[in-house]
């Protein structure tokens, strides 16, 4: 795994001079995300989730655009238990994006988040009685990443890293990191 990461980093660094960004008007990203949700008190257990991430960016000027980012993360707690708990988290955020010719970008995204933990028979003892709670609130993401151009209309998002503020008490509020990777289509 370390060799793989080292080869990705080295190939990206050597390719930097070749990554002249085309001034695409619209960029659409889709890919995988890993979200690490920290504990509410900063010292408890964290929640590691997997899911999807998609965004669309409309470039207003050469270096400045606006983005809409949507994501979903999923985790089953106590998977071997009689009554597991499924947690689904969704975010919908919007904000400015600053892009450089080298493929690097930074963004500040603001919007909302929704958490849907579902536990069947957690308290009743019967698998026929399922309950779920829905939690909504303000979400914020600050971060950026690196896109490597493959063709004029296709790029690979090597890595996107975001600090994420989530409103959920059961999963922490401010100790969250999101890592995304995938493909970018440019129009």
Q: What is the pLDDT of residues 36-51, one digit of tens each?
A: 987 655 555 678 999 9
Which residues fall within 8 angstroms of residue 100, CB to CB, at 6 or more apart?
A: 21, 63
Domain range summary for the chain, segments of one domain joined by +: 25-80+87-113+138-186
User: Phi first, then psi: what are they for 137, rounded to 5°?
Assistant: 175, -175
- How far is CA 153 from each of CA 6, 85, 126, 187, rounded to the nearest angstrom? 27, 42, 53, 6
Quote the CA–CA distance of 132 and 122 in Å, as a whole number.
Answer: 10
- Pick 43 or 72 by higher pLDDT: 72
pLDDT in tens, 79-133: 777 778 888 999 999 999 999 978 999 999 999 999 887 765 444 445 455 556 7
Quote the CA–CA distance of 36 and 7 in Å, as a whole number.
Answer: 25
- How far is CA 68 from each of CA 25, 47, 107, 124, 160, rounded to the nearest angstrom? 14, 25, 11, 41, 15
Give pLDDT, residue 54: 98
Instruction: Kindly report each contact of residues 71-79 with a partner whose C-beta sits within 8 Å and lies 24 or more positions away, as own/partner.
Output: 71/33, 71/35, 71/178, 71/180, 73/33, 73/35, 73/49, 74/49, 74/50, 75/47, 75/48, 75/49, 75/50, 77/47
Please, what's the b/e burial string for 87-96 (b: 16 or more CB within 10 A of its CB; e: otherwise)?
bbbbbebebe
Quote the CA–CA distance of 54 and 152 in Å, as a whole number.
Answer: 20
> Tokens for 165?
């503020």
Give pLDDT, residue 45: 67
What is the pTM assigned to this prediction? Answer: 0.79
Alpha-helical runs (H) found in the chain: 2-15
Quote the CA–CA distance of 62 and 67 in Å, as a whole number.
Answer: 15
The CATH architecture to which 25-80+87-113+138-186 belongs is Beta Barrel (2.40)
Quote the CA–CA distance of 129 and 156 in Å, as a whole number.
Answer: 45
């Amino acid at each position: 795994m370390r060799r793989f990461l080292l080869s990705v980093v080295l190939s990206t660094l050597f390719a930097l001079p070749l990554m002249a960004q085309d001034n695409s008007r619209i960029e659409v990203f889709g890919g995988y995300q890993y979200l690490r949700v920290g504990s509410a008190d900063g010292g408890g257990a964290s929640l590691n989730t997997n899911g999807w991430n998609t965004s669309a960016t409309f470039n207003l000027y050469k270096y400045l655009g606006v983005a809409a980012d949507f994501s979903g993360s999923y985790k089953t707690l106590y998977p071997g238990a009689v009554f597991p708990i499924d947690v689904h988290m969704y975010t919908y955020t919007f904000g400015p994006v600053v892009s450089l010719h080298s493929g690097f970008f930074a963004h500040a995204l603001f919007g909302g988040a929704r958490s849907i933990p579902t536990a069947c028979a957690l308290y009743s003892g019967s698998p026929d009685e399922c309950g779920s709670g829905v939690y909504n609130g303000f979400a914020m993401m600050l971060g950026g990443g690196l896109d490597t151009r493959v063709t004029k209309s296709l790029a690979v998002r090597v890595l996107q890293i975001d600090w994420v503020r989530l409103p959920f008490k059961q999963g922490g509020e401010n100790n969250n990191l999101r890592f995304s990777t995938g493909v970018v289509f440019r129009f």
